[in-house]
Amino acid sequence: MTNMKDANDVKKIKELKPTKSVKDVHASSSARRASEVITIVVGSHPDAERDDRPLAYRFQKRLEAAVAAGGSPGEGFPQVQIVTDLWYLNDPTLVAAPAIVLGTVNTNAAVAHLASRLPQTLVVDGEFEIQLDQLASDPRVCLRGVDAPSTERAVRVFIEKFLAQWLESTRVAVSPTHNR
Protein backbone atom coordinates (compact mmCIF):
# COMPACT_ATOMS: atom_id res chain seq x y z
CA MET A 1 0.00 0.00 0.00
CA THR A 2 1.18 3.43 -0.93
CA ASN A 3 0.59 6.23 1.46
CA MET A 4 -1.25 9.01 -0.41
CA LYS A 5 0.83 11.67 1.33
CA ASP A 6 4.06 10.02 0.13
CA ALA A 7 2.75 9.87 -3.44
CA ASN A 8 1.85 13.56 -3.36
CA ASP A 9 5.30 14.44 -1.96
CA VAL A 10 7.01 12.48 -4.74
CA LYS A 11 4.88 14.28 -7.34
CA LYS A 12 5.78 17.68 -5.86
CA ILE A 13 9.48 16.81 -5.82
CA LYS A 14 9.35 15.77 -9.48
CA GLU A 15 7.73 19.10 -10.38
CA LEU A 16 10.46 21.16 -8.70
CA LYS A 17 12.87 22.85 -11.07
CA PRO A 18 16.30 23.70 -9.69
CA THR A 19 17.24 27.34 -10.07
CA LYS A 20 20.97 26.54 -10.30
CA SER A 21 22.83 23.39 -11.12
CA VAL A 22 25.26 21.90 -8.65
CA LYS A 23 28.03 22.77 -11.12
CA ASP A 24 26.92 26.44 -11.20
CA VAL A 25 26.80 26.64 -7.42
CA HIS A 26 30.28 25.08 -7.13
CA ALA A 27 31.73 27.39 -9.81
CA SER A 28 30.39 30.58 -8.22
CA SER A 29 31.38 29.43 -4.74
CA SER A 30 34.83 28.42 -5.91
CA ALA A 31 35.40 31.70 -7.75
CA ARG A 32 34.31 33.67 -4.69
CA ARG A 33 36.57 31.63 -2.43
CA ALA A 34 39.56 31.96 -4.75
CA SER A 35 39.31 35.74 -4.73
CA GLU A 36 39.21 35.80 -0.93
CA VAL A 37 42.00 33.39 -0.03
CA ILE A 38 45.66 32.65 -0.32
CA THR A 39 46.07 28.95 -0.87
CA ILE A 40 49.03 26.97 0.43
CA VAL A 41 49.38 23.84 -1.64
CA VAL A 42 50.98 20.67 -0.31
CA GLY A 43 51.42 17.35 -2.05
CA SER A 44 49.09 14.45 -1.49
CA HIS A 45 52.03 12.01 -1.49
CA PRO A 46 52.57 10.32 1.90
CA ASP A 47 56.00 11.97 2.30
CA ALA A 48 54.45 15.38 1.64
CA GLU A 49 51.68 14.71 4.14
CA ARG A 50 54.29 13.72 6.72
CA ASP A 51 56.86 16.48 6.06
CA ASP A 52 55.23 19.36 4.20
CA ARG A 53 51.78 19.54 5.79
CA PRO A 54 53.16 20.38 9.29
CA LEU A 55 55.39 22.99 7.61
CA ALA A 56 52.33 24.36 5.80
CA TYR A 57 50.44 24.71 9.09
CA ARG A 58 53.33 26.67 10.62
CA PHE A 59 53.59 28.76 7.45
CA GLN A 60 49.83 29.39 7.53
CA LYS A 61 50.16 30.90 11.02
CA ARG A 62 52.96 33.19 9.81
CA LEU A 63 50.92 34.25 6.78
CA GLU A 64 47.83 34.91 8.89
CA ALA A 65 49.91 37.04 11.27
CA ALA A 66 51.40 38.98 8.36
CA VAL A 67 47.96 39.46 6.80
CA ALA A 68 46.54 40.65 10.12
CA ALA A 69 49.44 43.09 10.56
CA GLY A 70 48.71 44.59 7.15
CA GLY A 71 44.97 44.96 7.61
CA SER A 72 42.01 42.95 8.69
CA PRO A 73 40.40 40.25 6.56
CA GLY A 74 37.55 41.66 4.54
CA GLU A 75 39.49 44.82 3.71
CA GLY A 76 41.11 43.36 0.63
CA PHE A 77 43.24 40.91 2.58
CA PRO A 78 42.46 37.26 2.02
CA GLN A 79 42.14 34.32 4.38
CA VAL A 80 44.74 31.53 4.25
CA GLN A 81 43.81 27.92 3.45
CA ILE A 82 45.75 24.70 2.85
CA VAL A 83 44.82 22.24 0.10
CA THR A 84 46.47 19.30 -1.62
CA ASP A 85 47.93 19.40 -5.10
CA LEU A 86 45.11 17.23 -6.46
CA TRP A 87 42.42 19.63 -5.31
CA TYR A 88 44.39 22.67 -6.46
CA LEU A 89 45.24 21.41 -9.95
CA ASN A 90 41.66 20.33 -10.60
CA ASP A 91 40.09 23.69 -9.72
CA PRO A 92 40.86 26.31 -12.42
CA THR A 93 39.84 29.19 -10.15
CA LEU A 94 42.38 28.11 -7.52
CA VAL A 95 45.13 27.66 -10.13
CA ALA A 96 44.64 31.28 -11.23
CA ALA A 97 44.39 32.72 -7.71
CA PRO A 98 47.10 33.66 -5.19
CA ALA A 99 48.84 30.49 -4.04
CA ILE A 100 52.06 29.32 -2.47
CA VAL A 101 53.02 25.84 -3.58
CA LEU A 102 55.65 24.06 -1.52
CA GLY A 103 57.50 20.77 -1.59
CA THR A 104 59.50 18.73 -4.06
CA VAL A 105 58.65 17.82 -7.64
CA ASN A 106 58.47 14.18 -6.53
CA THR A 107 55.85 14.75 -3.83
CA ASN A 108 53.78 17.71 -5.08
CA ALA A 109 52.38 17.78 -8.63
CA ALA A 110 51.63 21.49 -8.27
CA VAL A 111 55.35 22.17 -7.74
CA ALA A 112 56.08 20.33 -10.98
CA HIS A 113 53.25 22.27 -12.68
CA LEU A 114 54.55 25.71 -11.64
CA ALA A 115 58.29 24.97 -11.99
CA SER A 116 58.27 25.80 -15.71
CA ARG A 117 55.68 28.59 -15.45
CA LEU A 118 57.24 31.00 -12.97
CA PRO A 119 60.55 32.87 -13.14
CA GLN A 120 63.35 31.85 -10.80
CA THR A 121 63.84 34.51 -8.17
CA LEU A 122 66.36 32.83 -5.90
CA VAL A 123 68.25 29.61 -6.52
CA VAL A 124 70.50 27.83 -4.06
CA ASP A 125 72.06 25.11 -6.23
CA GLY A 126 71.35 21.59 -5.08
CA GLU A 127 69.05 22.82 -2.33
CA PHE A 128 66.03 24.97 -3.19
CA GLU A 129 64.43 27.47 -5.56
CA ILE A 130 62.04 30.30 -4.91
CA GLN A 131 59.99 31.09 -7.99
CA LEU A 132 57.67 34.08 -8.22
CA ASP A 133 56.81 36.93 -10.52
CA GLN A 134 58.08 40.01 -8.73
CA LEU A 135 56.16 42.25 -11.13
CA ALA A 136 52.99 40.77 -9.58
CA SER A 137 51.34 39.81 -12.84
CA ASP A 138 51.16 36.21 -11.55
CA PRO A 139 50.06 35.83 -7.91
CA ARG A 140 51.54 32.34 -7.48
CA VAL A 141 54.74 31.29 -5.73
CA CYS A 142 56.63 28.01 -5.96
CA LEU A 143 58.91 27.05 -3.06
CA ARG A 144 60.72 23.99 -4.36
CA GLY A 145 63.19 22.03 -2.29
CA VAL A 146 65.13 18.89 -3.11
CA ASP A 147 63.92 17.34 0.16
CA ALA A 148 61.90 18.28 3.24
CA PRO A 149 64.68 20.22 5.08
CA SER A 150 65.51 22.26 1.98
CA THR A 151 61.83 22.99 1.40
CA GLU A 152 61.67 24.31 4.95
CA ARG A 153 64.69 26.55 4.22
CA ALA A 154 62.95 27.84 1.07
CA VAL A 155 59.90 28.76 3.14
CA ARG A 156 62.04 30.50 5.74
CA VAL A 157 63.95 32.52 3.11
CA PHE A 158 60.70 33.43 1.33
CA ILE A 159 59.27 34.75 4.61
CA GLU A 160 62.41 36.78 5.32
CA LYS A 161 63.04 38.22 1.85
CA PHE A 162 59.85 38.18 -0.22
CA LEU A 163 56.71 37.73 1.88
CA ALA A 164 55.93 41.39 2.68
CA GLN A 165 56.25 42.52 -0.94
CA TRP A 166 54.33 39.51 -2.25
CA LEU A 167 51.50 40.01 0.26
CA GLU A 168 51.16 43.65 -0.73
CA SER A 169 50.96 42.76 -4.41
CA THR A 170 48.55 39.92 -3.59
CA ARG A 171 46.34 42.24 -1.55
CA VAL A 172 46.06 44.54 -4.54
CA ALA A 173 45.43 41.57 -6.83
CA VAL A 174 42.53 40.27 -4.74
CA SER A 175 41.06 43.52 -3.46
CA PRO A 176 37.31 43.77 -4.06
CA THR A 177 37.65 46.86 -6.28
CA HIS A 178 40.33 45.20 -8.41
CA ASN A 179 38.19 42.16 -9.23
CA ARG A 180 35.05 44.02 -10.25
pLDDT, tens digit (0-9, with 9 covering 90-100), for 119-140: 999 999 999 999 999 886 889 9
Answer whether residue 37 shows pLDDT above 60: yes
pLDDT, tens digit (0-9, with 9 covering 90-100), for 96-115: 899 999 999 999 999 999 99
Say if pTM beats, i.e. exceeds, 0.85. no
Helix (H, G, I), strand (E, B) or coil at 180: coil
Residue 141 phi/psi, 5-degree rounding, is -130, 140
**What is 38-174's CATH topology?**
Chitobiase; domain 2 (3.30.379)
